[in-house]
Amino acid sequence: MDNDLVRLLEQSGFTQKEAGVYL
């Protein structure tokens, strides 16, 4: 996963685990 995208998701209140579910 793109690290910048992960950072944006975290700032939006998502964890990497949650991001993995949505992406």
Q: Tokens representing 2? A: 């793109």
Query: What is the predicted pLDDT for the residue at 19?
Result: 58
Query: What is the predicted pLDDT for the residue at 18?
Result: 65
Look up residue 1 and give its amino acid.
M
Q: Tokens representing 7? A: 């950072």
pTM score above 0.85: no
Residues 1-23 have pLDDT tens digits of 578 887 887 888 776 676 577 65
Q: Compute the C-alpha angle 9/14/23, nearest 5°.
A: 70
Query: What is the predicted pLDDT for the residue at 13?
Result: 75
- CB atoms inside a 10 Å sphere around CB 9: 19
